[in-house]
Amino acid sequence: MNVRLNHTIVWCRDQQESAGFLTGILGLEPPKPFGPFHVVPLGNDVSLDFRTQRGEVATQHYAFLVEESEFDTIFGRIRERGLQYWADPTCQQPGQINHHSGGRGVYFQDPSGHLMEVITRPYGS
């Protein structure tokens, strides 16, 4: 059986703001409206479907695997925007990146408080 993730809904305070924030940081095409969603397609046939939620948003974690050269560009955008970033998911190592599994990784928050992560190697590889 071949089961693959196709999409997931990212609940947020403002779908246009959150989807646009992510595409801007990652250097992706602008989000595409589809029904009540703002859809961000990723390179592995998975999409993040952003949807505004009234009230409190339960924060989640989303990790993106990128090439080394893409990491440099993305990390540059994070710094250019003056975003806080961390080397760890508990946000105890501010202003640092990690070098797990021989790669590089960084965590930052989106406008709804979701913890986004960019890595160059899968952990444990």
| Inter-axis angle of helices 68-80 and 15-26, nearest 10 | 130
Is 67 part of any domain?
yes
How many residues are present in the chain? Answer: 125
The domain in which residue 87 lies consists of 7-119
CATH number at residue 27: 3.10.180.10
Q: 1 pLDDT band (50/70/90 cuts)?
A: confident
Per-residue HEC secondary structure of the chain comes to CCCCCCEEEEEECCHHHHHHHHHHHHCCCCCEEECCEEEEECCCCCEEEEEECCCCCCCCEEEEECCHHHHHHHHHHHHHCCCCCECCCCCCCECCCECHHHCCEEEEECCCCCEEEEECCCCCC
pLDDT at 75: 98
Per-residue pLDDT tens over the stretch 31-86: 999 999 999 999 999 999 999 999 999 999 999 999 999 999 999 999 999 999 99
Give how many domains the chain has, as a whole number: 1
Asked whether the predicted pLDDT for residue 125 surpasses 90, the reply is: no
Is 1 a domain residue? no
Is residue 43 a part of any domain in this protein? yes
Residue 124, pLDDT score:
87
Query: Please, are residues 113 and 59 in contact by the beta-carbon 8 Å criterion?
Result: yes
Query: pTM here?
Result: 0.94
Over residues 97-101, mean pLDDT:
96
In a domain, 16, yes or no: yes
